[in-house]
Amino acid sequence: MILGVISSRSVQHHALAAHFVNDLQISSNIRRIERFFKEQMIDFGSLAKILLEMLTLHHKLDLVMDRTNWEFGKSPMNFLVLSVLVDGQHGIPLFWRVLPKHGTS
């Protein structure tokens, strides 16, 4: 699935499902992805470690820190995110924190 995120440059389920190597329909792969996330507890620290080990095989890494505001319905959410830059264009989030107040941090 991680390779699908990198290949598709997306985290949307239909984009990931298109990169699965099997003979199933995309809709079947989407259901597999949904079941995976529904039934699994993900240790994001371990996931970040695996990603970093995979990405450091060929070159040094650029880390990017960003703070952004999103709105979930009418509720503002303020995120601080640490990402690794892939191909100089795309950031893969490694760690994030929801900050306690809206606006600048």
Question: Per residue in 12-67, pLDDT tens?
Answer: 787 888 877 788 888 888 888 888 888 778 788 888 888 778 776 666 778 899 99
pTM of the model: 0.52
Cβ atoms within 10 Å of 51's Cβ, excluding its own: 19
Q: What is the pLDDT of residues 67-99, one digit of tens each?
A: 988 887 888 888 899 998 887 788 888 888 888
Task: Reduce the secondary structure of the chain to three states and give it as a string.
Answer: CHHHHHHHCCCCHHHHHCCCCCCCCHHHHHHHHHHHHHHCCCCHHHHHHHHHHHHCCCCCCEEEEEEEEEEECCEEEEEEEEEEEECCCEEEEEEEEEECCCCCC
User: How many helices (H) and strands (E) in the chain?
Assistant: 4, 3
